[in-house]
Structure 1
């Protein structure tokens, strides 16, 4: 268990072990949220955003017919240079 003290300004220092577990470094943001059971959870906001984006894009490659790196490169070229070039 790790304990942190709240300063008069409402600031806390996240213990080193927790920073390591969450992959936090100086300047990172921490996301606090409450689960349905009332438990308060904190997480690395950047990692949470990546997981949310991954979830939102889940299945997009299959829908677009992208199955390998060549398909990705073709799509990038089409966006950069326009279709048919």
Structure 2
């Protein structure tokens, strides 16, 4: 367990062990989430990435992409059509 002091401006220094566990670097943003009476601090970039993963879940199956070769072929086809630049 780590302890941090709150300044008069409401600022805290996140202990280095916690920053490492959250993958936080200088300039990163953190997200505070309340859930079941507890407050969680989350790396906002990682949370956005997880949300994007959830949104895209099942899309590969929906469009018939089964493996890397299917993806490469799809990109080649899109390039032929001029939809994707090289």
Q: Same fold, TM exceeding 0.5?
A: yes
How far residue 71 of structure 1 moved from its aligned partner, in angstroms, is: 1.1
How far residue 57 of structure 1 moved from its aligned partner, in angstroms, is: 0.7
How far residue 72 of structure 1 moved from its aligned partner, in angstroms, is: 0.9
5+ unaligned residues in a row in structure 2: which ranges? Answer: none
Q: Which residue pairs with 1:43 in the alignment?
A: 42
Q: 2:8 and 2:80 mapped to 1: Cα distance? A: 56
1:51-83, CA deviations, whole angstroms, 9 ceiling, x for partnerless residues? 111111111101110011111112223333317
After TM superposition, list the pairs within 5 Å mapping 1:5-84 onto structure 2.
5-35=5-35, 37-82=36-81
Aligned length in residues: 82
Q: TM-score, normalised by structure 1?
A: 0.86
Q: 1:78 and 1:38 mapped to 2: Cα distance? A: 51
Q: 1:18 and 1:75 mapped to 2: Cα distance? A: 41
Q: 1:82 and 1:18 mapped to 2: Cα distance? A: 48
Q: 1:76 and 1:22 mapped to 2: Cα distance? A: 34
1:6-57, CA deviations, whole angstroms, 9 ceiling, x for partnerless residues? 122221110011011111111111110111x111101111111111111111
5+ unaligned residues in a row in structure 1: which ranges? Answer: none
